[in-house]
Structure 1
């Protein structure tokens, strides 16, 4: 019996590892069987993600491709603050061939419905604090009030720092916690990376 198991293990070790195949695209119009990439060693997940933000930068991004487990964090990362400032990012990670073929659309944050909750709100890109003399309606599944200091970075370029108070989703409120596991665990879509220096959340009402 041991000999049989040893032989099976031996042949399993010799068998070539078949790389994961993922849709690779920078636009939903490119989703097809022709735009497929074989993932590199260590990339064990497919990812689909969309970003829409008007904060320290106005940016829309769509990303489909391969990713390693430690850098792929499924979730809905959203915040709403004053002066029309918001970030809305959806990330979907999966582990089978071509599983990232879902058509994701750039979210229209302004079309989201208020959910009845409110939070103190302010926004600044010029200091590390701001005065919350207003409130903002929480939208969609935003059920947390957040006090956030961080940055929005494009690739490895210098990030755009900002500070705000407002409404956020539970996933957005977990950004700082994910970072504790190291640089590889930053929340990102393609070249867009959200980092948190300080983040405090509590239940909205």
Structure 2
């Protein structure tokens, strides 16, 4: 009898779960895939847009990854941003709470680009676990943290960045910006121009999440 009740409860719970589309696309504002039942705490249908922009001698290179999935309400109300002089990441998420509500095409509103008064040391380096701070960057919107992140792809290639970050970016230890890598992360105090940003081995944290890091191939 207890077994029957347990099975019935499980079926009822599954029947009441929100069903959302799951897929991803590169440089597109839509994608299509399969559907999954969402479970708490990822109990909302979400659409997440991750934009990465890199400035170099050849101009601006930009990549966009669109992902539809189950997600948390927190991610919808807390955009994640990272800004350096050369490299920028913007992660914005839209939520909805009806079955299949994240299918179809989406349109996005611009993030807050108003300077907030905070200035952080800024640097960007490829294939290095250090980068030399030669300038500062003015933080915008909800970027209230100065951070450094080093991201290492399988095979050993590393990039290191320092700059402004929002609370969501800081709380994820850079995982939102550098999904698909082993990410070595530590916080950073404000430094003078020309200081070198280096790892503190006692503060390293490694994350593994699946997606794309286009900046490695540039």
Aligned partner (choices 56, 61, 66) of residue 65 of structure 2: 61
Q: 2:204 maps to what in 1? A: none
1:55-104 CA-to-partner distances (Å, cap 9, x unmatched) read 4974111122346x7xx972422111123x11111235666523546945
Q: 2:212 maps to what in 1? A: none
Q: 1:181 maps to what in 2? A: none
Contact 1:187 1:193 in 2 (8 A): no
Q: After superposing the two structures, state which structure 1 stretch, 9-18 or 44-53, moved more.
A: 9-18
1:33-52 CA-to-partner distances (Å, cap 9, x unmatched) read xx684316979643210011
Specify whether residues 96 and 23 from structure 1 end up closer, same or farther in structure 2 by C-alpha distance, changes over 3 A only: same
Q: After superposing the two structures, state which structure 1 stretch, 113-122 or 54-63, moved more.
A: 54-63
Output aligned runs, 1:1-205, within 5 Å. 9=5, 12-13=8-9, 15=11, 17-18=14-15, 20-24=18-22, 26=25, 27-28=28-29, 37-39=34-36, 45=43, 46-55=45-54, 58-66=62-70, 74=75, 75-83=78-86, 85-92=87-94, 96-100=98-102, 103-105=106-108, 112-151=113-152, 161-176=158-173, 187=176, 193=180, 195-201=182-188
Q: CA deviation at 1:116?
A: 1.9
Contact 1:173 1:199 in 2 (8 A): no
Gaps of 5+ in 2: 56-60, 191-218
Q: Aligned-pair RMSD on alpha carbons?
A: 4.2
Distance 2:82 2:140 in 1: 9
Q: CA deviation at 1:136?
A: 0.6
Size of the aligned set, in residue pairs, is 175
> Relative contact order (C-alpha < 8 Å, sep 6+): which is higher?
1
Contact 2:84 2:124 in 1 (8 A): yes
Q: 2:202 maps to what in 1? A: none
Distance 1:41 1:54 in 2: 32
Specify whether residues 160 and 13 from structure 1 end up closer, same or farther in structure 2 by C-alpha distance, changes over 3 A only: same
Contact 2:22 2:36 in 1 (8 A): no
Distance 1:103 1:125 in 2: 33
Distance 2:47 2:106 in 1: 9
Normalised to the residue count of structure 1, the TM-score between the two structures is 0.62
